[in-house]
Amino acid sequence: MLYILMSILAGVIIVISRILNTKLSEKIGLIESSYFNYFTGSITSIIFFFIMKEKFVFTSLNNIPFYAYLGGFLGVSIVILNSVVTPKMSAFYVTLLIFVAQLFTGIALDWLIFKQFPLNKIIGGLIVIIGLAYNMNIDYNYSKINIEEEN
């Protein structure tokens, strides 16, 4: 039950963080808001580590693959892209796009690391993409009709 609650809380924090980063980037700039995002994330992670340290299993740094160190770079890139994209799209579309991107990144990692090709995840992701495209088409046509009625 604790893990379910933590995963729900993580999802909520992602959405709130994205909104706060966007607002902050409008006030102080993209790079500065990304810095504060990572600064507060680091402080929170350190506090969480000291609370949960007996649950962590430590390994040698030599056993960690090189691509694991790219997470920070990719994270900063995602935060900056979110801050740019969020004001231009609805929160619904941005959330779905992030979900699909995470799903297909996971599929790519499964294929690269474990040599597995999870067909059910691919089909699920494609269904979400089709639904997203369909919904965006409906929204586009609806806005086009409203613009024509105003003229």
| Tens of pLDDT, residues 72-119 | 788 788 778 877 877 787 777 777 788 888 888 888 888 888 888 888
* pLDDT for residue 149: 67
Q: Which domain holds residue 125?
A: 89-151
67, 127: one domain? no
Name the band, by pLDDT with cuts 50, 70 and 90, for residue 151.
low
* pLDDT for residue 7: 81
Higher pLDDT, 148 or 63: 63
118, 49: one domain? no
121, 79: one domain? no
Domain boundary among 36, 61, 84: 84
Domain boundary among 84, 117, 138: 84
Cβ atoms of 94 and 85 within 8 Å: the answer is: yes
144, 74: one domain? no
CA distances from 99 to 38, 67, 92, 109 (A): 21, 21, 11, 15
Q: Count the neighbouring beta carbons within 10 Å of the beta carbon of residue 25.
A: 23
Closest listed residue to residue 86, CA positions, set 26, 126, 36, 11: 26
Total number of domains constituting the chain:
2
60, 114: one domain? no
Backbone angles phi, psi at 118, to 5 degrees: -75, 90
109, 127: one domain? yes
Which structure tokens are listed for 89?
């799209």
136, 65: one domain? no
3, 43: one domain? yes
128, 80: one domain? no
CA 72 to chain centre: 13
Closest listed residue to residue 76, CA positions, set 16, 29, 31, 23: 31
45, 5: one domain? yes
Rounded to an integer, what distance in angstroms lies between the CA atom of residue 55 and that of residue 4? 18
Higher pLDDT, 63 or 108: 108
34, 107: one domain? no
Rounded to an integer, what distance in angstroms lies between the CA atom of residue 26 and that of residue 58? 40
Domain boundary among 84, 117, 136: 84
50, 10: one domain? yes
